[in-house]
């Protein structure tokens, strides 16, 4: 994998503190969007539920109905939230990059073309990482798939939407945010490339609280790997491809062993 020298953009990018502030705005927008999707979806389902009842339910019946909606359709809600959040937040990232005059959006976010050779190289690296992490999981007698992934797959209602959300929308948003916007802002600051790799990997891993310690640790190491690849290739597309590939493999593992996992 050939290392590409990137242009010096220090005076054109948002500084480290501005990057943190704008990053928090993007993160808040993601939370608000996901919350709104959950609320609208749940409210719509509750209206249908209430119309089917002969009388008015009490508080406890209403709470039980809400819990049922959230638990039985968690995967579908997760997919909808991921798609909506990605659209809104990627739009914000592009806006914040565009506002910073003197550098194009493609330059800011590292949207450079990569060669077929580089694509094959990053896929090979990702495949090797998956084999090593899965091998370690087998050695530690861990289940082949994460419980959270199994849960959202079993409650996805429409699995095609979940596949699209996790393989396309989630990688594009998370990589544009972490290895794009945040990474460049930190890399061009006093933190430098090493600080940018470590900080974005830590921030990315800390958001995956639905996983256990082993899962979060694996994601942190993967974040380090993605950051290094981002530097070596000079392209955000390389990490998007790697992220999409690992999500696809995770879903395939669940789909191929679904009956065994829920049995």
The DSSP string of the chain is ----PPPP-TTTS--HHHHHHHHHHHHHHHHHHHHHHHHHHHHHHHHHHHHTSSS---HHHHHHHHHHHHHHSHHHHHHHHHHHHHHHHHHHHHHHHHHSTTS-HHHHHT-----HHHHHHHHHHHHHHHHHHHHHHHHTT--SS-HHHHHHHHT-SSHHHHHHIIIIIHHHHHHIIIIIIIHHHHHTSTTHHHHHHHHHHHHHHHT-TTS-HHHHHHHHHHHHHHHHHHHHH--HHHHHHHHHHHHHHHHHHHHHTHHHHH-
- 27-41 pLDDT, tens digit per residue, is 999 999 999 999 999
Q: Quick one: pLDDT at residue 121?
A: 97
Positions of the chain with pLDDT under 50: none
Q: Quick one: pLDDT at residue 175?
A: 98
Q: Quick one: pLDDT at residue 259?
A: 61
- 82-122 pLDDT, tens digit per residue, is 999 999 999 999 999 999 988 999 999 999 999 999 999 99
């Amino acid at each position: 994998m050939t290392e590409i020298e990137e242009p010096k953009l220090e005076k054109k990018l948002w500084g480290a503190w501005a990057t943190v502030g704008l990053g928090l705005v993007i993160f808040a927008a993601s939370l608000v969007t996901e919350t709104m999707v959950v609320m609208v979806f749940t409210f719509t389902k509750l209206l249908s539920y209430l119309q089917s009842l002969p009388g008015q339910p009490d508080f406890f019946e209403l709470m039980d109905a809400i819990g049922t909606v959230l638990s039985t359709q968690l995967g579908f809600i997760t997919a909808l939230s991921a798609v909506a959040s990605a659209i809104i937040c990627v739009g914000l990232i592009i806006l914040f990059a565009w506002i910073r005059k003197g550098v194009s959006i493609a330059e800011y976010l590292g949207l450079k073309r990569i060669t077929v050779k580089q694509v094959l190289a990053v896929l090979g690296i990702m495949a090797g990482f998956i084999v090593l992490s899965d091998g370690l999981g087998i050695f530690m007698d861990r289940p082949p798939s994460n419980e959270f992934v199994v849960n959202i797959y079993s409650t996805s209602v429409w699995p095609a939407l979940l596949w699209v959300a996790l393989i396309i929308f989630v990688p594009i948003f998370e990589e544009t945010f972490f290895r794009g916007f945040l990474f460049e802002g930190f890399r061009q600051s006093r933190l430098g490339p090493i600080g940018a790799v470590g900080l974005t990997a830590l921030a990315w891993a800390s958001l995956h609280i639905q996983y256990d310690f082993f899962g979060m640790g694996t994601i942190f190491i993967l974040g380090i790997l993605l950051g290094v690849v981002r530097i070596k290739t000079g392209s955000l597309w390389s990490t998007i491809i790697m992220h999409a590939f690992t999500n696809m493999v995770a879903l395939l593992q669940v789909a191929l062993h679904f009956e065994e996992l829920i049995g």
